[in-house]
Every structure is written in structure tokens, then in C-alpha cells.
Structure 1
Amino acid sequence: MNQPELGKKILELRQKFGLTQGELAENCNLSLRTIQRIESAEVTPRSHTIKVILSNLNYDLSNLSTNLSDDTSSKGYLVKKWLKLFLKYVLELFNLKTNTMKKLSVLSLIAIFITAGFLFMPNHLYAQKIDGWFLAGSKPNSYTIGLDKSTYITGGSSALLKSVDKKIEGFGTLMQSCSADEYLDKRIKMTAYIKSDNISDWAGMWLRVDSKQTKKSLSFDNMQDRPIKGDNDWTLCEIVLDVPADSGTLNFGVLLSGTGKVWFDNIKFEVVDKAETETTKKPNLNKKPTNLDF
């Protein structure tokens, strides 16, 4: 799907659900201008931005063509980059006119360093994709994701979300979206373990239930009233929310505001009794009109 087709598809889906550009931008934690530019084919958005938008529009991401993959984070891209640099310096060898031996020595040394850099490149640079999950948030470019096989609760690895910029005014999230059909008209509990390191602001697990028709949020909790801060060993977190009968999607994950690292593991969903208290905050309503004469 090329950019004009993508913009047209997003416009078509947005209108199908009766959403304004502003409402879609709010649902996706993006700016209104970003949505406008994508729909008008003024820009080619990053793959994670496309996934966030289409997930919020109930579009099957498996229908996306492979050209939406984030090639800049793949091993194939890095191989091509290093080979291009290597070829550049090899070609220089054929343009030597003076000080041939000196240039040959320098260029050969550079080529060795380039090759060595590729061979010993840290594995985390190759681990930017996690099946079923994607990177989103208000500042996704300031974060990276991957699998950590040295730190986990179960399964031999955990998901890692970490900052790559020294200062961040915003947040990143490792998230997933799925159909809510299995949990309609039920109360569910999401549990997971989170480990943190050097968090400058806060982190938390989050869960949002969106309407099938309007795409508006029906229930939401991101643990902001019980945040994870600083350094913490594995901590069990839980969220309890209702899934109304008109729900369309469950959106969930772990978010990191500011800088630091969070590990996410052993995520579970279960249906619980309606007697179990929801973790979402709801407005406290007075039983009757109050303080009418001030």
C-alpha cells in the first residue's frame, strides 16, 4: 500500500466510524496536523504510526503489505548500510593518485573497523520487533523496544521498553490491540509483572476498552494514580475494568514517561466477578443536588 492509497484508506475508515480528524488524533495520541498530513499524502509516516492509526480504526494489520515494515531497524537494513560504507572505501582504492601506500593503509584500516563494527554490533539493535506488539506513544522516536533474554519471569525472555534520548517530554508505549468479543459484558482483570530501572518520571501498565461504533474510550486505567518510579524489582501489577456490550477493541501495554527502562512479562487476562472493584477512576456523583444557594 503506497502513501496515497494509505491516506485514502485511513480517510475512508475514519469516515466509516464517524470520527473527525481531531477525534482520531486524540485516540491515537497524535497531533491533528499529523492526521491531516497523512490523509492528504503529504508525508510518509513511520510504520508504528500507521499501525497505531489502523489499530484504532479496527483495520486488520495482517492486510498491510511488507513495505510498511520498519526497515531501518532490521538486520537487513544494517547489513546494507555497512556494505555500502565498505564499498565506498573499496572504490576509493581505485582512485589513488599520490601517496598510494599511505592511502591504502588508511583505507584498509577503515574497512577493517567498519567490518568489525558490523560483526560486533550489539544484538539489541536487531531486536526492534516483537510479534503482535508495536511501539507507539506521544514520543515514539525517543524509545526503542526489544526482547531481553537475560531478564524475565517466565518463557525465557521479557519485553523491554527503553529511552534512547537523554531528555524526553512525553512517553512511549509498547502496546497491542485485539478484539473485545471474547469479553463482552464482562469484568476482566489484566495482570503482568513490571521491572524498572532509572525511571525519571513514571511508568505503568495500561488497558483501554474502546467502543465498536464510535471508537470512543469506554473504560481506561494507566496506573497513573499508583505509578512505578525509579528502580524496582519485578512487581505484580493489575487492572480491573468492565467491557461493555458495545465494546470493539481492547488496547493495552506498558508505558514509560520520560527516560529509563521497563521490562514487561507474564501478561494474563481473566474474567472476574462483578463484585471485584474496578481500578478505573469514575466521577463521584452526589446523590442529590447540593449547595444550590452557595
Structure 2
Amino acid sequence: MDSALTTVLLPVALGIVMLGLGLSLTVDDFRRIGRQPRAVLIALVCQLVLLPVVAFGLVLAFDLSPVLAVGMMLLAASPGGTTANLFSHLFRGDVALNITLTAVNSIIAVVTLPIVTNLAFAYFEPDLDGQVGLQFDKAAQVFAIVLIPVAIGMLVRSRKPGFADSMDKPVRLVSVFVLAAVIAGTIAAERENVTDYLADVGLVTLLFCLCSLGIGYAVPRLLAVEPKQALASSMEIGVHNGTLAIAIAVSVLDSVTLAVPAAVYSLIMFPAAAIVGYGLSKVVHRQVDEQDPAPV
């Protein structure tokens, strides 16, 4: 395993991504839950309950190896990231809802991610040199790497909102760059098996991404959530924080192979979310126009 990837690049990458998330959040983002609880709760149920079930079904259907199966479940348990907010903005979804969901998901994931990962370890029993999942000390690491940078970012925003706003675009650009570097490093570390891994998880991760995007839109709409909020939910649920999944796999669980599904997914997710988001935006805007037609 590439020690530079584990000890330097991954912590820096994740720190930048989570700091950037914190710079975009305020306390009011959490208060918004009380103002639109329906949309938030429906999206959270999709994220926390339906997606792990979908991932588990795909893993069994494609008969993945135990290590890749756990990697898929780790990916499914990872929250949405700031990229979801960007996609929602591009396709005119309810970005405020995205920000709220990202904030809440990032905190809840500190608890749910270790639970899902440990259940996956117990069920699939991967051969990882005695690794038995995210025990208390490693779960504490997840808490630290997720919440501390976010808290610092929120503190900076509360004290220096102008600075936080000015740093939003640069941090997003750096986040994309470091994510690309992390994916490249993960694939390079497993370069001898890349072709096999792509064959093993390429279709699974694509289907998981499409299912996530579809569930994120269809379920809220079936439950009478407004079209723009459903679009935001689709982006939030369909665009996972791949950097977090990779960092936990490599830095906390000490396995590059566990990170392969998240790395492959991160490559597939951008074009898939762009295509689906564009299509959904056309549907949403038509629905909005029908509900509120322009005056003649």
C-alpha cells in the first residue's frame, strides 16, 4: 500500500472537502429542518434505509467478493457531499434543502456509517488480515475526520462570513482536484487489478448510482414533495461523498481494495448525475410551469 496516499494525501483531501462543507453551513441550515420537516425526513429515510438495502441487493445479485461487497456497503452508507449542492444549483433544485440534508447527513453518518460497515463485515466476513470492522476507536476516528473540519469551517463562517463566501469557489475547485488525485492514487495502488475491479464493480456502481438518483427523486414525488425539492433530494442521495468512503477504507480500515467501489463510483457518478440531473430538470420545470403558469 502507498503510505503517502494513506498518511498524507487522504487526510489532506478529506480535510479540505469537509472544511469546504463547513464553510458553506450555518446554524440556520439545521433550524430549517423544523420549517420543512417532510422533505428532509423523506430524503433521510431514502438515504439511510433504502440505499443500503439497494446496495445489499446489488451486491448479492452480482455475487461480489466479500471485500468489494463491504466496500459497496461503505459507499452506500457515506453521506452526500458538497458536489450534490453544486449539481442541484446547476439544475435549479432547492439548494437550501441540499445544504440542510448535507449538514444533517454528515452528522448522522458518524453513527450510521460504522453500523452499516460493521454489519457488512459481519455478514460478508472479508479476509482483511484480522480486520473486524469499525470498532470504537476507529469509529471515533470517523467522528474526528468528519466533524472536526466541518466544525472549524462553520466557526470560520460565523466569524468571517465574507471570507467564507470568497473561499467557496476555490475550496470547491481544490476539492475536485484532490478527489481526482485520491481516485488516481487508489487506482494506481491497485493497478495490477484495475481491469478486474472495473469488470467486477463498474456495472454495479453505475446501477447503484442510477438507482440512488432515481429513488431520490421518485420517492419524494410519490409522497407529494415539491418538484424542486425532489430534484434536490435526487442529487443529494445520488451523489455520495466518495472521498470520505475512500479515506475510511484506506486510512481507517487499512485496505485499498475496500476503496475500489468508491473510486470507481466517483468516476461514474459525475457523468451519470449530469445526464440524470439534466433530464429531471426538464421534467421539474415543466411541472412547475403547469402548477404556476405565466399570465397571458
Under TM normalisation by the shorter chain, which class is it?
under 0.3
TM-score after normalising by structure 1: 0.24
TM-score after normalising by structure 2: 0.24
The structure where strand makes up a greater share of residues is: 1
**Structure number, greater radius of gyration:** 1
The structure where helix makes up a greater share of residues is: 2
Bigger RCO (CA 8 Å, 6+ sep): 2
